[in-house]
Every structure is written in C-alpha cells, then in structure tokens.
Amino acid sequence: MLKLPTSLRLQLLWRALLFCSLSGALLLGLLLYQGYRAKQQQLADIPQRIELQLMPMLAQSVWDVDQTATQKLLQNLLQQDGVRQISLRSTDGSVLLQLGSRDETVTHIVELPVQSARTGDQPLGLLRIGLSLGTLEQQLWRDSLTLLLLMLAALAGLTLVCYRFLLQQVLHPVQQLQGRLNTQPPQEDSSSNELQQLSASLQLLQQQHQEQDSSQQQHEREQARHRDQLTEMVALRTAELEHLSRFQHLVSELSTAFVHMPLHEQHQAVATALERIGSLLGVDRCYLFRVTPDMLIRDNQEWCAAGIVSTASHYESYPLRQSQWFVQQLQRHQFLAYASLADIPQEGHVERELFEQHGIQSIALVALSQQEQLLGIFGCDAVSHTRVWLDKELSLLRLVGEMLSGLLLRQEQQAQLEAAQAALSRANEKLDGIANTDGLTGLANRRLFDQRKQQEFAAACALKQELSLLLIDVDLFKAYNDCFGHQEGDQCLRQLAAALTQQFAGEEQLIARLGGEEFAVLLPHCDARAASQLAEALRQHIWQLAIPHMASPVSTNVTVSIGVASLDRHRHDSMEDLQAEADSRLYQAKHQGRNRVIGPEPVRQA
C-alpha cells in the first residue's frame, strides 16, 4: 500500500486546499441561497415598483396617446432583471404594444391596470408583464461564480501568506528544534511528520530529563547521606577531641599535683584520681596494684562504678609469678589492651579465665616500671560492655602510667628516706643518750645537766617561776671503795641512782651524776621549803636502803649530805650563783658531820 507523504508542510498544504474548497462550496451555497431569495424578492417587488414608478408616466403617455413615449417606457421596463415579455392591451383585450421574445420561458405573468386620475376608476388599458425566474437564476449563478472566484483567489492568497508565515515562523523553528532535540539521525523513509518527530523527541527528552532528575535525586540523596555521615563523623570527632582534651587536662593536673604532694596525702589523692579517670573514660573499674620486690600484689586501690563488684581483695597478695606469660608480656611491651578477651592468645589462657571470672569484657593495663623493676600495675576494666580503646586514649593511659610510676618511685624513695631518717633519728638519739647519759648509772651526765640548768634558769626568770637545786654527795665514798672494792662501789652508785629516780619521778625534774659520788637534782616550779623537804626525804630513803658501810664513822649504812638552794632573783644573777650557793651548803653539811640537809629553810632531822 502506497503511503502518502505526511510531511507537516504537505499536510498544511492539503489542509489549506481542503479549507479553500470547503469554504468555496459553503460560500457558493450561501450565495446561491441568498441570491435565490433575493431574486424571488426582486420578482415579487417588480409589480409594486412598476405601480409606484412607471405606472403614472405610462398612464399619461397612454392618455396622451404618445406611442413613442409609451414604447420607450416599456423598453426601459423590459431592461429590468426578470422581465421577459411586455404587452399593453386595451380594455377590450386587443394588443396595443408587445415587446420581448415569445420563445422566452415565462414563469410568472403579472397584469396591471393602467389608470389615470382623469378617468377615475375606469382603466385606460391593461399592462401584462411576463417574468422569468430562470433568467434571474442564470444571472445569480454568474454573479455567484464571479464572487466565488474572487473569494477563492483571496483565500488562496491568504493561504499562501499564512503558509509562508507558518513555514518561516513555525515549521523552520520546529525543524531546527527537532534537529537539536533528535539524538538520532532522521530516517528518510519515515512517514511521521515534523510534529510527531518533535513529539517523539520531546518525549525522549522528557524521559531523559526524568532519568536525569532521578539520577540527580539519587545523587542528592547520596550527597545528603554523605553529608549526614560527615556531620555525624564531625560530631563524633568533636566529642572525641573534647573527651581527649578533658582527659589530657586531667593527666596534666594530676601530674602537677602529685609532684609536690606530701606522702601522707598521696593515698587519698590516688583514690580520687582513679575515680576521675574511670568516670572520664566511661569504664567500670580503674585500679592501681602495687607490686613488691618479691612479685606480690599489695596495697591495692580500686574505683568501681555503681553496681560493679570490686575485685581488689581477690588480687591482694596475689603472686604474679603464677602469671608468667602475663608478666613477661607486660614487662616487654609495658602496655596491654584488649577490646575483647577473645583477643588474648592461647598462651594467656590462665589470665583470660581469671579475667572472665571477674566479668571483664575489655581491659587495658599499664606496667609501672623503673629500671626493669615492676613497681605496680595500673589498669581499667569494662564489665557492662565491650570497649574499643582509642589510640589517643592508650597514649594518655601510658602518660598516667608514667605519672603513677613516678609516684610509686617517689613513695618508695620517700619510705626509704623516712626509714633512713628514723634510723638516723634513733642513732642520733642513741648518740645523744650516750653523750648525755652517765654510762654507769643511766642518769643524765654533767653535759646534759649544764644545758638544762641554763634553760630552766632562763625560763624561771622570764616567767617568774620557782627553781631549786639539790647537790648530793655520798659520805666517805672513797673509804667505801677501799673497803669493798670498786665493783661494789659501782653497784652502790647504781642503787643510789635508782633511789634518786624513784624519789624524783617528775617529767620536768632532772637527775644527773656530776662525777664520782656527786649527784644533782634540778627542780623546776619547786620553792625552798618543798625542796628542803624533798631533800630530807631523799636522805632518809638512802639511809633506809641499808647499804652497809663499815668504814664510815657516821653510820653503819651509806649516807649522803645534801645542799639545797632556791632561786632568789635579787641575789642570783645567773645559774652559777644558784649552783655556788647549793655547793656552799653542801660543804656546810659535810663539815657539820655529814648525813644531813642544809638549805634555805631549816629542816627537822630524823
């Protein structure tokens, strides 16, 4: 089947011709219809027009019997459209004048009386007119065809102008647009027109646009997803940096605090530090285990989150030698961190089982070492959940470990220093005791007595207090030594020292052996009367000891002579003045027969 070309240009041309044809047929029918109606109306109007326009002149010419004028009037009437025959008849019916061809087809005959005002109602004759509609129809067809041709020519010109306008303003731009939109070369045998091709191109373009929109939306969704992921990563990184910054600040703060902290405050400071570190890291346990030189865990400190069971007591006195793999790895790497206990190799199954018993899921441990000596272990446990240890966190935990290593080292050094200081203090006290103590009796020696007497004298003068001094001498002690020997003499002196210590047990009182058989007692806050009474009581106590002294002419027992002096600020300008007075009274006691007390107040001798 032959396909007609359906180019848009040809379609427009065919449709323009069809429009012109239809328009011409419609216009012709309309013209014929209107012309036919007009001709019929024209035929109907002829009698009335003749009566109004021609009949008065015709009646006048007939009345005047003017043959020429009558014929001329009828000739003019015959020239009118539709009039084919005219005859003027008399009243009796005879033809007076007849014009027109008798062969003409007459469709209508109109008879009009010729009347004049002069004759009244009596007609002058009868005018018979033959009308032909065919003549009018022929004329109508000629006029209609002429007008139709003119209108068709005008429509053809208008169509040509419109065609040229559409060709330039529509078809060429459409073809250019279709050429730009069409991604495939045009097919020469295609039966589609430009609009269909343009529609297909537009559909293809719309499909491509939808695909691009879909691709763009997918791309935007991908970008939004990447943006959300990036935002989440930035938020996580920011939170991580803030977390690490707080942790680093805490480590710096603790390091500074521990450097200058006294030893007695460090234990509580470590407990506080463990709590702060554990809370900041979000772990469940944070602990410090101290390791002794024989590899035992001692003096544990542990912080536990709420609801977490402490394990410090389980590790107290734990022998690390039972965990050789663990100790070797810790000393070799100085750090162990496991996000899951499953990461612990088979060699560490003992430690893994121990950790599992305590509910540990993740663990990080730092060795606290100094010169290959393990001082302790610092660690953090995650019990309620597994935890991935960040590299920065592990670095900061190492810093905490270094800080705690220094702390334990300082504690050990401080303990050693305190032990050395205590030993030195004891040695100094021992030396002081040796330097200030009489080797025979254990009493204060003359060196200590000389120091204390000046101190007590200055205090008594400044505070206006009482101060007394007793000087004691064993009667005839040389004769005792000669009689019993020096060993017995030393034993006698020790017994006398014990009696003095028993008699003067006050903390402020000082008993001293000045040398040989001479003793002194320094009595702060003691007046002359009380001092004399104490001296007498001492003399009697020594006599009652009943230490035999066969070589003494005074008594069969060992006796003493005592000189007593009490501070008088008007007479005693120095301690030497006070001591000289006591010595003088001791001398008086000896010369008055010994075995007596001489003081500022008289004493009743027993």
Catalytic residue numbers?
517
SS3 10: helix
Give me the DSSP letters along 436-451: HB-TTT-SB-HHHHHH
* Phi, psi (degrees; rounded to nearest 5) at 118: -75, -25
Quote the radius of gyration of the chain (alpha carbons, Å): 78
The two structure tokens encoding residue 373: 């000596």
Tokens 């002429």 -> residue: 146
Q: Which strands make up the sheet holding 95-99, listed edge to edge?
A: 95-99, 83-89, 125-131, 108-114
Give the number of other Cβ atoms within 10 Å of residue 474's Cβ. 24
Q: Which two tokens mark 312? A: 């410090």
Q: Are residues 405 and 386 in contact, defined by beta-carbon separation less than 8 angstroms?
A: no
Cα 510 to Cα 235, 445, 452: the distances in Å are: 79, 10, 8
Residue 85 tokens read as 């025959």
Cβ contacts of 439-445, under 8 Å, gap ≥ 24: 440/490, 440/493, 440/494, 440/513, 441/493, 441/494, 441/496, 441/497, 441/513, 442/497, 443/497, 443/500, 443/501, 443/511, 443/512, 443/513, 443/519, 444/510, 444/511, 444/512, 444/513, 445/512, 445/513
The single residue listed with the structure tokens 């279709």 is 178
Using DSSP's 3-state secondary structure scheme, residue 121 falls into coil
CA distance 254 to 402: 12
Interhelix angle for 194-259 vs 391-436, to 10°?
A: 0
- Residue 444 near residue 512 (C-beta atoms within 8 A): yes
User: DSSP letters along 514-537, please?
Assistant: EETTEEEEEEET--HHHHHHHHHH
The string over 509-529, giving b where at least 16 C-beta atoms fall within 10 Å of a residue's C-beta and e elsewhere, is bbbbbbeebbbbbbbbbbbbb
Cα–Cα distance for residue pair 361/382, rounded to 1 Å: 6
Angle at 182 between CA 179 and CA 186, to 5 degrees: 75
Alpha-carbon gap, residue 245 to 237, rounded angstroms: 12
- What are the φ/ψ torsions at residue 594 (nearest 5 degrees)? 65, 180
Of 126, 156, 107, 138, the residue nearest 59 (C-alpha): 126
Q: How many Å apart are CA 463 and CA 486, to the nearest integer? A: 45
